[in-house]
Structure 1
Amino acid sequence: MPTMKIHTITPPFLRTFAMLALAALFLASCAPRLTVPSADLLSTPNLIVEADAAWERRNYEAAELYYAALLERPDLTPDALPKVYERLADSALRSGHNHQARIALETWANMDASVVRLRSWERLYLDTMAALNRGERLRNHLRWLLATSDLPWETRADAALWYGEYFRNRGDFDRSLETLAEFYAQAPSTADRAAMEAAYRATLQSLDNTRVIELSRAVTAEGQWRFPYVLVGFERGVRDASDKAAWSGIWRTMRTLAARGELVERAPLEQTLAALEARFGLPRVGVVLALPLSGPFGKMGAGILRGAGLAQWRLAQDAMDVDLRVINTDTPGWEARLAALPAHYSVVGGPLQVQNFRLLSEGAKGRRILDTRAVFAFLSSLGELTEGRDAWRFFSSRDDEVRSLVRLSVDQLNIKDLAIFYPEEAFGRTMAETFYREAAPLGARVRGMQSYPPRELKEWSRRVARLLKVPADFKDNKDAPLDPPDFGAVFLPDGWSQAQTLLPNFFFYEGDQLLYLGTSLWSRALDSARNIDEHYYRLAVCPGAWWEGSEGGRALQAALTGEGLGQADLWVALGYDFVRFAGKLGTLPAGWNPADVNERIASASSMDFSMAPISWDGQGVAMQEMYLFSPARNGKRLVNAATLADAIAKARERRERRLEAYEKRIEGGGR
């Protein structure tokens, strides 16, 4: 143990000297001002009786004096020493004589090193070091406790709870919970873990609301299911349960923690929750999906509905009652039917189409559908409305797509000079503007921009040549290598079918060493694409919100397979994730405001997504971390930045070799 020097063998004369010195120090300096002769007049057996009586009466100053005096007695038997030292240290500590407590403990340990294995010695030692404000020594001792296997688990478990309280009382809530988690992970048996859980549950129940709230702020999304975080989160729910307006969301969080907490004993949580349910009722959540179930977008709507139905079923298995209503946005008057629903249908997912979303914002402020229900649009943008105030998004944005592409180019491939080649229509212009706006803050420079008419295919080649600054006499000497462009990547905000025509044009003008950045339209099309000519797409990248090989994607597919519900895709994942998210969000209280929704989002979003995870900032603005893919022969594959960088380097080397070969031919007089 690094905190003190301990000898396992002490010569008798040194032992006697140590006891006499300790007793003298207590009697002469810091011991309480009681009549010393009264101790001298007592025989050793009677002095033991008086010392024990004083300690049991909690007259710690007298007990400290008597136990110190006992150490002077040559006829004190060795078997009495452990109790004398322990009670001397305890009495001194309780009397405020912290240094004397330390001396007693260390003298005792130097005489018998095995005492450090005792829970009583360990607890007294920790209390004494804390009273002496020996923070560094306590931290060193903690490291030793976590590393050693010499102490009984009961002693270490008791120390774990002590350190949890020590850090908590100093406002270091992260360290308090981390320490408990570290010791819990070392518990030798399930019984030991269960005992630690029970002890910490009792600790949490004894804390006031302020302390529980402070601890709950240290619970992370990654650790929320583990001890002690799961117990803290659950206890926070217990304290907040009386809030009628928030009970629905609180109940769902507590229910999930009780069902999924990685604990030995979850029964106490379930019993507590059952008592709260009996008191406050079992919440019911109303969720609406506004989807096209017919027409050109009907297939997407059907996929979302399939995922939503699976989520509703699985939530029901966890006793979470989600009342799901579906409104077909492809039929006239759908918005009126949405407005007429009871108030507890307070959360809406969808719609999928911009023109339908606009219908929800019609009417006077305060009387719009957006003002009475929290709408999470399945759109990349809310247009002129303010995200997090008028409505919310449950879908990737243009910024998400652009951000993922620029970060790959700049941060991982060190390509900072970029260009944009966009179609002359609304989507292309908007994406080009977004790319231009986002590039500079992320460390990129846009070196070139060129538009092209989307329906005039013959013009595309000329526009590509203009972007690449191909000289006018190129056709007269096609063997002469072209100068490389002053950018290393091109953003192509158009669909996959257009990309299949565009990229060969770039290759015709020796653009085979450029990185081609596509949109999520590519990714969705590639889900069903086959027999792709990979020659043009080795250096092509596109973002996507769905990857079947992700952990969440595999879990969703397993759930679908188990219920005989077919294959997963982006739309199924969207419905599955949204209903589970809405279930955690809960029924909004009457008179809710955007701040209420944003506050609930913070906890509801801490879930396992099947698609790319979505997060929201404090203002309710969503951000999705997109996956990045490259086209492959039969679909797409996840981008490996190192492999892509190597492919770019090889393409540049091939260009250099062509240039060198051409120069040699010119020097040799060849053509």
Structure 2
Amino acid sequence: MSTLWAKDFSTKSRRCSVDLNRSGWVMRLSLAIILTIWLFFSGGAAAAAPSPGVGLLQEGIFAFEQGQYEEALSLFRGYVIRNPQAKDLTQAYYFLAKIFLAGDELPSARLYFERIPADERTAPVRFIEAQLLLGEGASEQALASLMQLSPEELPGDDRIDWYLATAQALFQTGRELQALAILNSGVQLHGAASSRTLLKLAHQIGAGLSGEVLAEGAFMLQGGPVGLDLELYLARAEFASGNSDDALRRTERIIASRQPFLYRQEAALLYDRLRGRPWIQRAIGVLLPESGRLAAFGELLKRGVELARELHDQESEPVKLIYRDTGGDPGLAEEAVRKLANEDRVMAILGPISGAAAESAAHQAEVEGVPMLSLSQRDGIPEIGPQVFRVSLTDRNQAAELARYAIDELGMDSFGVLYPETAFGHEMLALFSQEVLKRNGLVVDSESYPNDATDFRSQIRLLMGEDPNQPVDFDDLPEEEQLEALFEPEFPPVCFDALLIPDYADRVALIAPQLPFYGMEKVPLLGINGWNQPELVRNAGRAVEGAIFVDGFFRHSSYPFVRDFVDLYFATYGEEPTILEAQGFDAANILFSLLDQAWIADRDSLREALSRYRDYPGVTGATSFNAVGDAEKQLYILQVHRGSVQQLN
């Protein structure tokens, strides 16, 4: 074991199983919860996935819903063969027709459709008939059938297909503008992200229009996603005829639109030709609070960003940084993204740091199609959309790394948590419990304390399974209990291997000395990045000796590139950097390193490069982005050793 601790991390003791009334109850409750979860995911899943005894039809439907079409096809066919007189054959015929229709095997799809009795042909069945007619070339009949249906009558997956089929039927019967109007309605109803097939069909139809018909369609659908596409065709026609001024005005209007648009990059390329310079500038927009209560944090982040720019521009083509003040305000952040994307024409946006501003900015970045590298810790920011990434240290990062190190490296498997009664405290308890459970460990006990507490006797005694009102001093016990205590064997003071305290250094300095005072001795302590402050060791002293905690930055790291950053920062600003400056430095350098690659010439290629970015060697740890755009960082594992904080990894 690589730490100072030499205790045996066994929890098999009489105190744990018998004497710790409260902790034992918590442990039994936790195990019951785990058993319930296991039963839900094992037995529950088994109930959801049909067993052979339930019938081939149900198994086929389950396979179809899981996207296992070959297996579903085999099961449905088997059901039809074995149950030729069954009352629910219609269901099997329906799914067989859908499978063959999706595979463009129209005769087989028609065969099973015809087997469905006329009085059982519901809206979804009649939609199959319309698609068959369309595929067989009977466009007028297909259109008549489709117009008798409403998308609301169809299952969710079929609704977009109804717009697609209806537009195809209209187009094939010479009604191009009506087809475009149907596609535009479908996109507006279901959103651009879910309607790419509709937008692509509209693009194909628009390519065949010209003259007055094209102009009429652009006017009729102006402002909508399909209307923008027709505007782009008009701009190209104007440019080809030598009318560059009208083409330029139209192209600028397209690019500045807030409507999601698949072909915005094509409009940007046309703009480049019209203006003789790139639409997208070699620039990054930086959203920071330069005013308001968060201004001090914004200034620290800006220092890190500027230090990265200074180093980069000495050896590479300069990148322009355009700062916008959010003041921590969501409305200002949203407007700043819009202007940076369309007026300043930046390649990417860095920031903001506050949760509300970051969330608002992220939604607008999705609308504008501009990559955004957020510095906010708020949950769910990267999940807003594919344009949004995050590079900052999160609470989940810390919980996951603490659990990994304690379980995988130290061999622990049971934990206590002493946490503040705040939203952050509750979140850290939940996150750490989840991460521990993933590794087959367990949080067996937890206690909370008021945010302004200074006396932690009650919580500590409860964690030890003792009555908090019982006298602590042996001499204060009744004579009979003193006599019993003489013959009682020694047991561990607690029923867990380590205690997590997710709070900041000033509070930890109050808690840690009280642990041994109230009898919780030699219990390893775990902490978060809030522990990484000079006052921790100065005020808590020996009480935190051997404690382990994590952080996203350690200015005394042995890594040469971290020492170089700290020295450069100190030489520039006359003080040592914090994690804020380090995060600003790394975030800016990630974007700079990508902009220097020749193949990254637009926002789409930059977004693609960010999504595949792996192991950037930053001062805040090696950084990669996962499938949703969240940073996966190798955090610093730190330990208090002989009165100073040292790096373990």
TM-score (norm: length of structure 1): 0.48
Rg larger in structure: 1
TM-score, normalised by the number of residues in structure 2: 0.49
